[in-house]
Chain A
Amino acid sequence: ETGVTQSPTHLIKTRGQQVTLRCSSQSGHNTVSWYQQALGQGPQFIFQYYREEENGRGNFPPRFSGLQFPNYSSELNVNALELDDSALYLCASSLTSGRFGQETQYFGPGTRLLVL
């Protein structure tokens, strides 16, 4: 196991609702990235947080937002849910240092979101 945890494991929402997903990083890691993975596709990068600041963002609308807390845990918030938001949401933690940059990422088990 990676030490990265996510909650909840499964979630069912209706279109237009809002959802908050949570992630606890692996001990010693200071960077969290969030991904959306639709069935049969690779993970799509949503955004990354480093030291509580957004450090990069993929092609997702502003209704996808996030937070990183001082203990490096993180939240992903999605407003105005759409049917296409149904997917597996993954967080990955990693260590970013001045010397080596960002090292490899370790994934949590994911939250499976179904929007009806």
Chain B
Amino acid sequence: GQSLEQPSEVTAVEGAIVQINCTYQTSGFYGLSWYQQHDGGAPTFLSYNALDGLEETGRFSSFLSRSDSYGYLLLQELQMKDSASYFCAVIGDNTNAGKSTFGDGTTLTVKP
């Protein structure tokens, strides 16, 4: 099976940097994705790591270490609109019959 753990809540101030960690257990997966979800909305794709290392997309960066079963999402220059839930997810490979698994989400609150 697959499981992912991430902190339930994180609070930071506007302009700061915040890191949301994700540890996982899986027998095989294609990559680690990160999604943002505002209340009532659908998950929006933020970043994807198929390989180990850092991927940077504007204010958002994501990191993956397969040897440590660990990844993180880094949000820089926080803005009030970044207040949302953030989910890490693995896309299972053929050993997991294409099954995708999401973490329970991290609620980020950005304060002025």
Q: Count A/B pairs, Cβ under 8 Å.
A: 76
Closest to B35 in A: A107
Size class of the B contact interface (CB-based, 8 Å): 20 to 34
Known contacts A43-B87, A55-B98, A100-B50; A107/B44 CB under 8 A: yes
Contacts of B104 in A (CB 8 A): 41-42
**Chain A interface (Cβ within 8 Å of chain B)?**
2, 31, 33, 35, 41-45, 48, 50, 55-58, 88, 90, 92, 94, 100-110
Contacts of A50 in B (CB 8 A): 98
Can you name 28 A-B pairs with beta carbons within 8 Å?
A33-B98, A33-B100, A42-B89, A42-B102, A42-B105, A43-B102, A44-B102, A45-B99, A45-B100, A45-B101, A48-B98, A48-B99, A56-B97, A56-B98, A57-B99, A90-B43, A92-B100, A101-B91, A101-B93, A101-B94, A102-B30, A102-B91, A103-B30, A103-B31, A103-B48, A105-B91, A109-B41, A110-B42
